[in-house]
Structure 1
Amino acid sequence: MHNTVRRIMFYFFGIIILTFGIALTIQSKLGTSPFDALLVGLFRTFGLTIGSWEIIVGMTMILCNAFAERRRPEYFAVITSLLTGFSIDAWLFAIGDWATPESMLTQTICLGLGIVASALGIAINLQADFAPNPFDRSMLVLKRLTGWNVSVSRAVISIVLVILAAIFSGPIGIGTVLITFISGTLIHLFMPHVSQVDQFLSKQVKYTKKHA
């Protein structure tokens, strides 16, 4: 499998799995990530769809990042926002009838699966190293402008998003806390395994070419 094709494959699979996880955390009603909580809050306040707000907020962050760095907007990041927004709406539509937990147990299971799926999706997407996520880019921009480390920059942006989500009645709860503190560890755990899959696919290509 050609390197570019493999990267694109990881990119798309990463978004599909990530957005499935996001949809599950939203359906759990126990709280979502700060960014997703803002999207749901905007949906509750102004209408449209959660995916539509993903696109709008993502585009806004892309423009703000470009203005802060005094450079052109990253057009690949626009593609990421569009695909992510569409996928979130598609998953919410697809699982809306059966992933509607009502007891605390089923809500917790839904949240847990959502957190794991989101972390796996991010790990796969990072392996692709293709089309930056607007949130992650904002974190790096803030790091460059302030000299803060990545953790502090991410925490500051997350706090701002939580405040905005609270203003718009977004779903902030125990899930928000868990996602904030657990996701990084899960992503770190998944990344070596995702890398091994990538290396395996790369070796398969070399083997096929050698024996062709």
Structure 2
Amino acid sequence: MKNKLLEQNVHLFIIGIAILTLGITLCIQSRLGTSPFDALLVGLYRTVGLTVGTWEVAVGFVMIIMNAILIRKRPEYLALVTSFVTGIGIDTWLWFFRDWLVPSSFLEQFICLLLGIICTGLGVATYLQSKLAPIPLDRSMLVVSELTGWSFVYSRGMISIVLVTLAFFLNGPIGLGTIMNALFTGLMIKAFFPFLEKLHSPKHSKRQVA
């Protein structure tokens, strides 16, 4: 039973990360601006070099240390695995879409951005159900929410302000997409999370087996 539950969690984790990184890539390709965190990653890529996925791992490591300090516990180094997998996913999707997903009109850009935000929210809500190590950014969201009593929306919003400020000084892609990501990604997570939690609950699983 435990092995089957672990297998289900791993599947949720992989599916969630795949959807999340697709959403991140769609936002980048829209050229209307990315989420505050991804704007920082792209800004580092533009300013320093390496790849967006590589910076996912590097910045993730810094956030792991910060999260540990805030909750006064040992660093959650396993989250580096999540950052690593996410980094690979981002770079893979960017390579796959690099030539043929280049929106030419504002409408196409907006649709690409909107799909990206939906996929991002769905991806986060999905992989969090696995109860495996979350991406450091999402762990920060949970940490801030736990320490302050704020909802996911407000917690992610406060973190976003800090990230946008850093991205601005690094020439990150800040624009309409950044504002929409900051405003609506938390709402998407909040909307999808209860539904997926109920779907993944033991009672639901038993009904499916029966």
TM (norm. structure 2) is 0.88
The corresponding residue for 2:81 is 79
Distance 1:9 1:69, change over 3 A: same
Aligned mate of 2:52, from 50, 53, 63: 50
Instruction: Indicate yes or no: 2:28 matched with 1:21.
Output: no
Between the aligned partners of 1:144 and 1:109, the Cα distance in structure 2 is 34
Q: 1:121 to 1:206 in 2, by over 3 A?
A: same
Q: Structure 1 vs Structure 2: percent identity of aligned residues?
A: 50
Residue 149 of structure 1 aligns with an amino acid whose one-letter code is W
Q: Is the 8 A contact 1:3 1:202 kept in 2?
A: no
Partner of 1:9: 11
| Shift in CA distance, 143/124, structure 1 to aligned 2, threshold 3 Å | closer
Structure 2: gaps (5+ residues)? none
Q: Does 1:92 align with 2:94?
A: yes
What's the TM-score, normalizing by structure 1? 0.87
Question: Which residue of the partner structure matches residue 178 of structure 2?
Answer: 176
Partner of 2:157: 155
The Cα shift of 1:53 comes to 0.4
Aligned to 2:209: 206
Question: Offset of 1:197 from its aligned partner?
Answer: 4.4
Aligned length: 206
Aligned partner of 1:24: which letter?
A: L
Specify the structure having the higher radius of gyration (Cα).
1
Question: Partner of 2:115: helix, strand, or coil?
Answer: helix
Native 8 Å contact 2:157 2:183 kept in 1: no
Match for residue 114 of structure 2?
112
CA RMSD of aligned residues (A): 2.2
For residues 139 and 71 of structure 1, the distance between their equivalents in structure 2, rounded to whole angstroms, comes to 16
Aligned counterparts of 1:53 and 1:201: Cα–Cα separation in 2: 39
Residue 31 (str. 1) matches residue 29 (str. 2): no
Q: Distance in 1 between matches of 2:162 and 2:185?
A: 18
